[in-house]
């Protein structure tokens, strides 16, 4: 699919302008001029979920590859699947194209963590990892491997009511007799033992979910994206493609229905907590629960992520930083050499402790024998 490129130019000198998290404006790398991104009067629109879930087949992701060209150097190239902004592979000029999926982004949380700050966060985190391979530290010095992405998320608002049935357990104690042996003699003692009295319960709990975010793209593993939460969605702004200039961005590749199914999993865990609190007592057991969702709305939201990855011993490891809060998460490999050294060191410490204990015991025994002998003399 052929897509027309957009480039944002500096109002002072005409050079390419990029979004700058420090000044929250479009900034020119050539002359340093900054142009504020004004969004007065713009609203963030939310859509009724039921309406679009019924037509989910029509809202499937468009898998066509976008072909475009660079206005700066004139080269033609194909963008990564689902990409909506990128850097020219020949001259690094920021390129933005139109979104082609039917559901367009309604909101964006702009980067507030700069590339320099992201590298500092990453370096500090890598330095704090015990037993990590030395190869990890080389990534910190490689600028091109730390990329800024706006990735799509589904954000859901919904009210819920849940009817449940379960069991409440209340702890009580009974006194029992036990036979024990003390100083070689058997005797009977009384001890208290815990018992649980179970009773059937039922009830209803209600909860409102606001801006529950779930991933809408598979660019990064789910475990990584989930760990970057919470997101400050209240600071999100109406979508404007100027925020994309200088950053990579993606459209959704996970359908709306799949996103809501994932949201239901997350909501279920929170609702279970509410039910257990409602049941009360010392122990709780949920036998059944039936949740109704109503007044449900959604929006497509772009969130900022700094990310890098590398391969170690044939396995790929991903790292990501929340581009708003600076929270970092990632997989981590272990250096087998460092692990072996640590295990060896622990073994030596344990062995030394055992040796000292045995030496002290032997010395004590010897002194005792010598004392007894002197007494008998």
If you average pLDDT over residues 357-371, what whole number do you get?
57
pLDDT of res. 59? 86
Q: What is the pTM of this model?
A: 0.82
Q: What are phi and psi of 105, to 5 degrees?
A: -65, 135
User: Is residue 303 over pLDDT 90?
Assistant: yes
**246 CB-contact burial (10 Å; exposed 0-12 / middle 13-18 / buried 19+):** buried
Give the 3-state DSSP-derived string for the chain, with helices as H, strands as E and coil as C.
Answer: CECCCECCECCCCCCEEEEECCCCEEEECCCCCEEECCCCCCCCCCEEHHHHHCCHHHHCCCCCCCEEECCCCCCEEECCCCEEEEECCCCCCEEECCCCCCCCCCEECCCCCCHHHHHHHHHHHHHHCCCCCCCHHHHHCCHHHCEEEEEEEEEEEEEEEEEEEEEEEEEEEEEEEEEEEECCEEEEEEEEEEEEEEEEEEEEEEEEEEEEEEECCCCCCHHHHHHCCCCCHHHCEECCHHHHCCCEEECCCCCHHHHHHHHHHHHHHHHHHHHHHHHCCCEEEEEEEEEEEEEEEEEEEEEEEEEEEEEECCEEEEEEEECCCCCEEECCCCCHHHHHHHHHHHHHHHHHHHHHHHHHHHHHHHHHHHHHHHHHC
User: Is residue 333 over pLDDT 60?
Assistant: no
1 and 96 part of one domain: yes
Residues forming beta bridges with residue 179, ordered by sequence position: 188
Number of domains in the chain: 2
Measured CA to CA, the distance from residue 66 to residue 78 in angstroms comes to: 6
Q: Check residues 182 and 66 and name the one with the higher pLDDT.
A: 66
Host domain of residue 176: 166-201
User: Is residue 142 over pLDDT 60?
Assistant: no
Tokens standing for residue 103: 């559901």
Q: What are phi and psi of 276, to 5 degrees?
A: -60, -35
User: Is residue 241 over pLDDT 70?
Assistant: yes
Instruction: Share the mean pLDDT of the chain.
Output: 87
If you average pLDDT over residues 129-135, what whole number do you get?
61
- Asked if residue 136 lies in contact with residue 266, where contact means CB atoms within 8 angstroms, the answer is no
94 and 1 part of one domain: yes
pLDDT of res. 336? 47
Tokens standing for residue 155: 């954000």
Classify each residue of 343-371 as buried b or exposed e, where b means 16 or more C-beta atoms within 10 Å of its C-beta.
eeeeeeeeeeeeeeeeeeeeeeeeeeeee
Measured CA to CA, the distance from residue 42 to residue 141 in angstroms comes to: 40
Tokens standing for residue 359: 């030496």
87 domain-assigned: yes
110 domain-assigned: no
Domain boundary among 150, 185, 201: 201
User: Is residue 217 over pLDDT 60?
Assistant: yes
68 domain-assigned: yes
User: Is residue 209 over pLDDT 90?
Assistant: yes
Phi-psi region of 131 (alpha: psi -120 to 50; beta: other; left: phi over 0): left
pLDDT of res. 27? 93
pLDDT band at 345 (very low <50, low <70, confident <90, very high): low
Q: Check residues 252 and 309 and name the one with the higher pLDDT.
A: 252
Give the 3-state DSSP-derived string for 203-242, with helices as H, strands as E and coil as C.
Answer: EEEEEEEEEEEEECCCCCCHHHHHHCCCCCHHHCEECCHH
Lowest pLDDT segment from 17-26, 121-130, 178-187, 199-208: 121-130
Measured CA to CA, the distance from residue 27 to residue 21 in angstroms comes to: 10
296 domain-assigned: no
Lowest pLDDT segment from 175-179, 213-217, 271-275: 175-179
If you average pLDDT over residues 130-136, what whole number do you get?
60
If you average pLDDT over residues 100-117, what whole number do you get?
95
Identify which of 140, 111, 135 has the alpha carbon closest to the alpha carbon of residue 124: 140
325 domain-assigned: no
186 and 92 part of one domain: no
3 domain-assigned: yes
User: Is residue 112 over pLDDT 90?
Assistant: yes
Domain boundary among 74, 100, 126: 100
106 domain-assigned: no
30 domain-assigned: yes
Domain boundary among 151, 184, 201: 201
Measured CA to CA, the distance from residue 249 to residue 81 in angstroms comes to: 11
Q: Check residues 55 and 232 and name the one with the higher pLDDT.
A: 232
Q: Check residues 8 and 354 and name the one with the higher pLDDT.
A: 8
User: Is residue 340 over pLDDT 60?
Assistant: no
């Amino acid at each position: 699919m052929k897509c027309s490129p957009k480039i944002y130019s500096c109002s002072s000198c005409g050079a390419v302008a990029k979004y700058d998290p420090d000044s929250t404006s479009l900034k020119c790398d050539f002359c340093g001029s900054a142009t504020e991104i004004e969004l007065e009067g713009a609203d963030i629109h939310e859509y009724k979920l039921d309406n679009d879930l019924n037509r989910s087949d029509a809202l499937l992701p468009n898998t066509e590859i976008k072909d475009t060209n660079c206005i700066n150097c004139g080269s033609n190239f194909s963008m990564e699947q689902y990409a909506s902004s990128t850097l020219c592979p020949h001259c690094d000029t920021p390129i933005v194209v139109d979104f082609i999926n039917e559901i367009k982004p309604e909101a964006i949380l702009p980067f507030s963590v700069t590339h320099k700050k992201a590298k500092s966060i990453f370096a500090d985190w890598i330095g704090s990892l015990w037993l990590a391979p030395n190869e990890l530290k080389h990534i910190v010095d490689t600028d091109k491997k730390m990329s800024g992405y706006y990735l799509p998320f589904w954000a859901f608002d919904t009210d819920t009511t849940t009817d449940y049935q379960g069991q409440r357990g209340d702890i009580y104690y009974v006194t029992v007799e036990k036979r024990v042996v003390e100083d070689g003699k058997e005797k009977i003692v009384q001890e208290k033992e815990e018992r649980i009295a179970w009773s059937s319960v039922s009830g209803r709990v209600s909860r409102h979910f606001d801006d529950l975010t779930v991933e809408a793209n598979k660019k990064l593993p789910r475990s990584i994206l989930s760990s970057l939460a919470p997101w400050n969605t209240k600071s999100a702004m109406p979508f404007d493609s100027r925020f994309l200039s200088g950053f990579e961005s993606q459209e959704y590749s996970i359908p709306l229905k799949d996103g809501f199914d994932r949201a239901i999993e997350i909501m279920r865990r929170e609702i279970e907590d509410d039910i257990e609190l409602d049941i009360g007592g010392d122990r709780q057991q949920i036998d059944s629960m039936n949740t109704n969702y109503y007044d449900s709305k959604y929006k497509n939201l772009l969130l900022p992520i700094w990310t890098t990855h590398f391969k170690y011993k044939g396995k790929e490891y991903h790292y990501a930083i929340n581009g708003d809060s600076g929270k970092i998460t990632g997989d981590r490999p272990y250096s087998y050499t460092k692990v072996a050294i640590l295990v060896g060191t622990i073994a030596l410490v344990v062995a030394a402790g055992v040796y000292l204990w045995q030496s002290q015991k032997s010395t004590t025994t010897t002194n005792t024998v010598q004392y007894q002998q002197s007494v008998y003399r």
